[in-house]
Amino acid sequence: MIKEIITTAEGKMQKTVSVLKKELGSMKAGRANPAMLDKIEVEYYGTMTPLSQVGSISVPEPRVLQIQPWDKSAIKAIEKAILKSDLGLNPNNDGTVIRLLIPELTEETRKNLVKNVKKTGEEAKIAIRSIRRDCNDKIKALKKESDISEDEIKKAEDDIQKKTDNFVKEIDKIIEVKEKEIMTV
């Protein structure tokens, strides 16, 4: 039973790290990254559809994203969705493809991005610690309702703490890499 609780907690922690990676991937860091467009949805035949399902997204140059719609009639809808997004990018279209030029980041913009990265990382760490606390609460509840020894409880708490520490270290590494990426573009 304790094993299941710890395994479930570890799965939730892994999911938290995955969400963090995805969130950081969608932040613009001065170079083109198709993940920046992950949150954009296009109104396509009356339905909100993810941009990645309306066309192919490529990076022909380090600071250019290119969107090749599968249906040429979707170009205006794609442009509209990009303009409505919070990316602050102006789409250029030549009738067949849309190009997005990623602007150079100013020093101030870089510092603000780093602050956001750190804030997002801290939120992920808080989520990891919350999962640990829930896991420990479940383990303590087990103690009250069944015959689990103090040693087993202590071992389980130590185990979940080690897992928590490892995930927090992983988050720190991810944040550090993203900071370097932003500051050295």
pTM: 0.69
Domains of the chain: 2-26+106-183 (1.10.132.20), 34-101 (3.30.1360.40)
Q: What is the pLDDT of residues 120-164, one digit of tens each?
A: 999 999 999 999 999 999 888 887 777 778 888 889 899 999 999
Residue 179 CB-density burial (10 A; 0-12 exposed, 13-18 middle, 19+ buried): middle
